[in-house]
């Protein structure tokens, strides 16, 4: 197996719920969950004018950081989606379309799209 294939398989493992004993995958799950929670808190705090005005630079930087992480995650999920659908015999293109049109794929896209459209 080539290093490229190993990297792709490992990336697929990291992006999906951690398997017992896989500490790296567990840490990724925790980081990603924390990032989502912090984004909810940031959006809530940012809706208060006083807080928004005082910390708008911090909110903007956190938003850009988060969008970079969420965008990378979306791209990586597209890249590894053929692994997920390999057992169904999907071609790489069909597997990627399957992910993009899935509930999770649509939610992932909708979470980053407003940033790019503004």
> pLDDT digit string (tens) for 62-114?
999 999 999 999 999 999 999 988 888 899 999 999 999 999 999 999 999 99
Give the per-residue pLDDT at 22.
Answer: 85
Cβ neighbours for 96, distance < 8 A, ≥ 6 positions apart: 78, 81, 82
> pLDDT digit string (tens) for 34-43?
999 999 999 9
Give the per-residue pLDDT at 86.
Answer: 83
Give the per-residue pLDDT at 16.
Answer: 85
Which of the pair, 17 or 91, is modelled with greater confidence? 91
């Amino acid at each position: 197996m080539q290093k490229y294939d190993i990297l792709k398989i490992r990336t697929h493992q990291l992006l999906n719920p951690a398997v017992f004993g896989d500490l790296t995958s567990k840490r990724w799950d925790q980081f990603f969950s924390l990032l989502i929670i912090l984004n909810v808190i940031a959006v809530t705090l940012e809706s208060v004018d006083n807080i928004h005005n005082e910390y708008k630079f911090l909110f903007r930087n956190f938003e850009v950081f988060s969008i970079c992480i969420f965008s990378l995650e979306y791209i990586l999920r597209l890249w590894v989606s053929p692994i997920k659908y390999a057992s169904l015999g999907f071609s790489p293109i069909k597997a990627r379309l399957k992910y993009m049109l899935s509930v999770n794929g649509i939610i992932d896209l909708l979470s980053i799209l407003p940033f790019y459209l503004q």
